A and B are shown apart, each in its own frame.
Chain A
C-alpha cells in the first residue's frame, strides 16, 4: 500500500537525482552568515515597501513617505496640514499679477556636504516637468526659470495658476543634488540622498530600509535618532504583535477592531490620524438608473453612514458630505445625507424605480475594511429594494475598469497629495478633466466654471467661496455615495516621543525622540 502518486513521481524522468541537499546548503550558508545585526535607534513598521525613491516616478504611498524623509522641497505643508511653511526656501514672494514666484533658499547642505543652490532647484524642477516625469503636468505651468544668485531663484508663469505653490510642496518637487544625479543617473536613486533629515544607508527590498541621520541637516538638533529602520511587515496582526513584543518601536496601520484594545495597553501610545481621504462609491452616471440625480441621492439616503463609522471603523473616522476630505476651504455648512429609508424610497419612486433595481458594485479584493463595508452596503440597499451584487476586483485593475466605464458602482477612495483642495476637486468633480469626475462622467457646468476661476484666483476669501460652492454642487449632484473619512490608526511604545501620522499620511521621523 503506497500513495499512488509517489510511484508516478518515481516513474517520471527523474530517476537519477541526488545530492542536491549539499548543493543547496552550500549556497545557503554564505548569505546567512553575512550582514551583522544593525543597531537601530528607531524601528518603524509599515505594510508595504517603497517601490522607488525617484520622486518623479513615484505614486505609491511608501515611496512618497520615504522620499519626504530624504529630500526637501522649497515649501512644505505644516504638520496640521492647514498651510504651507518654509522648507528649503526661507521665504518667498509672489508678484501681484501672480506670474512670478521668487524663492530665497536657506543655508542648507546636501548630506554629502555640498551646498544647495538655485541651480539644483532649477535642475530638479525642470526634471519634474520633463519627459521622464509622471508628474510633469503639475510643473508645466512654469515656463521660465531665472537664477538671480546662488541662493535666489524666480519661477515665471505665463498665466496665473494658484495651485502652483502647493504643487511645489509635492514630493515630486523634491530638490535633488544636480551634480550627483547627472553623474550617476538612475543609479543615484538606489541609495539617494538630499538635504532632508535622513539618507538611505541600506535597502533590502521588501524587508527593510535603514535610514541614517543626515549630519548636515539644516534644522539643528534634528533628527534626534541616529538611525531609523523602516521594516516592512505586510500583515496587520504581525505588526501589532511585534509592537507589543517590543521588536518594533512604532507602527502605522492597526486593524480597526484592535484599536481600543491597544489604547488600553499601558505600554503604548495610540493615535488616529485624520488623513486627507474620502471613501466613496462611484456611480456611473452614463448608465441607468444612475443617470438620474434622484436615484443617486436616494442611494445616499439609504446608507447608514454613522453605522458604518461605528460598526466597521469602530469610531475611527467621520461621515463624509462630499468627495472632498475635510481640508482647506471645506464647506462646513453641508451636512451628511441622513439615513432616511422612507425618503430614499420616495425619491426612487419619483424617479420611476418604486420596485427598486439590481446593480453590481466593484469591490477591491483583499481589503478587510472594504469587505465589511461592501457587505454592509449590500444589506442597507436591500432595504430600499436595490439588489446589490458584489464583484471583487484587484485594486490595480479597478482603476482601469472604471476608467473604461465598465461598471455600475465601484467602492473606492481618494486621497489628496497636497493640502489644497484643487487636486481633488479637479479629480472628482470636474468633467472633462483627466478623470472626468472620477470616472462617474458626472458633469456640472457651474463646477467646471468655478474650477477655471479658482485656479486663477489668489488665495483668500474669494477662492474659499468658490470651493465652498463647488463642494455644495458635488453634495447635491451626488455622483457618489459619500461614505466616510477613514482615519489611520498608528501606535508607538511609551518610550517613543513625537511619532505621529500627519494629515498628509506621512510621518516626520526627524521629530521623534527615543527615551
Chain B
C-alpha cells in the first residue's frame, strides 16, 4: 500500500529532467546550509598580504583584492542570493495568483480594471521598472522584495486568470454553484487546485530569471551592499581586477549558472510531471 500510485512513480522514473534537477537542488541546499559550517576561511577576513592569490590547494577559488577567500564567499553568498531570489518569486506568485483568481472568478468590471492595469504594467520592461524602483527607494533587501513584487505579479495574475476562465466552465464548478456553495469555498476547493499548476511550473522558470535580475542589481551597485558576499557584487568587484585575478569574477558567475540550470531543469521536469501530455 503506497500513497503514491504506480503510474505516478513510473512518470517520475521517465522524467530525466526532474531527477537531475532534484539532485542538483539537493546538492545546492547542502552546500548552502551545511557548507558555511565547514568553511575554514572567514569570508569577510581582510588580509592585504594575501590578495589576488590564484586558485590552488589553500584557496580553491583563489582570493580577491582584499585577500578574502573566494570559495568561502561564493558559498556564503548562496544563502543570501537564494533567499532573495526565492522571496522575489514567492511574493509575486502569492499576490499575482490571488489577483488572477479573483479577477478571473468575479469577471465583469473588476476583471476589466485589473487586466487593464496588468496591460499597462506589461508595457514596462522588467529590468527598467525594477531598477527604477530599487534605485529610487535605495538599495536594500526589503526594497528588492517590494520592487520584484510590484513588477512580477502580473505574469502570475495572467497565467492564473487564464486558467480560472477555463476551470470556471468545468462541470464540477458549475455543479458546486448549483449546490449553493459559498464563493470562497468554490474558489478554494474547486477553482484554485485546478488553476494553480501552470503558475507553479512557471515559478520554477521564474527563479532563473529572478536570480539573474537580482545579481544584475548587485552588479550595478543597486542590490546587496558590500561587504556582505553576494554573487553579482562579487562579479562587479572582481571586474576591477580582472587582469590580475579573473577568478574573482568567474566563480560567482558559475554559481549563478548552476542555480539557473537547476531551476530550469526543475521547471522543465515539473511541467512534464504535473501536466502530462496526451
Show the binding face of A for B, using Cβ within 8 Å.
1-5, 7-8, 11-13, 235-237, 255, 257-258, 311-312, 363, 365-366, 368, 371-372, 374-376, 378-379, 390-392, 394, 397
Contacts and interface: CB of A to CB of B under 8 A. Distances in A.
Nearest to B135: A394
Contacts of B239: 235, 237
Contact of B138 (A4, A376, A378, A397): A397
B205 A1 contact: no
A257 to B, nearest CB: 7
B206 A12 contact: no
A3 B267 contact: yes
Contacts of A363: 226
Contact of B242 (A237, A311, A378, A397): A237
The 10 tightest CB contacts between A and B, nearest first, are: A392-B225, A5-B205, A4-B271, A375-B46, A311-B48, A366-B221, A4-B201, A4-B267, A368-B240, A4-B205
Given A235-B239, A365-B221, A366-B221, 18 more contacts: A1-B272, A4-B202, A8-B205, A236-B240, A237-B243, A255-B240, A257-B65, A363-B226, A365-B139, A365-B226, A368-B65, A368-B240, A372-B65, A374-B227, A375-B46, A375-B66, A375-B227, A394-B139
A1 B21 CA distance: 14
B81 interface: no
A371 B226 contact: yes
B54 interface: no
Contacts of A5: 202, 205-206, 209, 267
A3 to B, nearest CB: 6
Most buried by A among B48, B204, B237: B48
Interface in B207-243: 209, 221, 225-227, 237, 239-243
Contacts of A368: 65, 237, 240
A2 B271 contact: yes
B2 to A, nearest CB: 27
Contact of A394 (B48, B138, B226, B271): B138
Contacts of A365: 139, 221, 225-226
Contacts of B206: 5
B244 interface: yes
B268 A2 contact: yes
Interface of B: 17, 45-46, 48, 65-66, 119, 122, 138-139, 155, 158-159, 162, 198, 201-202, 204-206, 209, 221, 225-227, 237, 239-244, 264, 267-268, 270-272
6 contacts: A1-B272, A5-B209, A312-B48, A371-B237, A392-B225, A394-B138
B159 A11 contact: yes
B196 to A, nearest CB: 14
Given A1-B272, A3-B268, A379-B46, A8 B226 contact: no
A376 B46 contact: yes
A237 B48 CA distance: 21
B221 A1 contact: no
A12 B119 CA distance: 10
A371 B267 CA distance: 39
A13 B270 CA distance: 24
Contacts of A237: 239-240, 242-243
A2 B17 CA distance: 11
Contacts of A372: 65-66
Contacts of A392: 139, 225-226
A378 B46 contact: yes
B270 to A, nearest CB: 8
B159 A8 contact: yes
A1 B17 contact: yes
A311 B51 CA distance: 10
A237 B242 CA distance: 9
Nearest to A258: B243
A122 B270 CA distance: 77
A3 B239 CA distance: 32
Nearest to B274: A4
A8 B202 contact: yes
Contacts of A312: 48
Contacts of B46: 375-376, 378-379
A237 B245 CA distance: 13
A378 B44 CA distance: 10
Contacts of A311: 48
A275 B26 CA distance: 55
A11 B162 contact: yes
A381 to B, nearest CB: 12
Contacts of A3: 205, 264, 267-268
Given A1-B268, A257-B244, A13 B225 contact: no
Most buried by A among B45, B201, B226: B226
Most buried by B among A11, A236, A311, A392: A392
Contacts of B139: 365, 392, 394
Contacts of B242: 237
Contacts of A7: 271
Contact of A4 (B48, B155, B204): B204
A8 B198 contact: yes
A235 B206 CA distance: 32
A27 to B, nearest CB: 18
Nearest to A365: B221
A378 B272 CA distance: 52
A237 B271 CA distance: 45
Nearest to B67: A375
A8 B240 contact: no
Contacts of A376: 46, 48
Nearest to A368: B240
A242 to B, nearest CB: 14
Nearest to B267: A4
Nearest to B47: A379
A5 B122 CA distance: 16
Contacts of A379: 45-46
Contacts of A390: 226-227
A4 B267 CA distance: 6
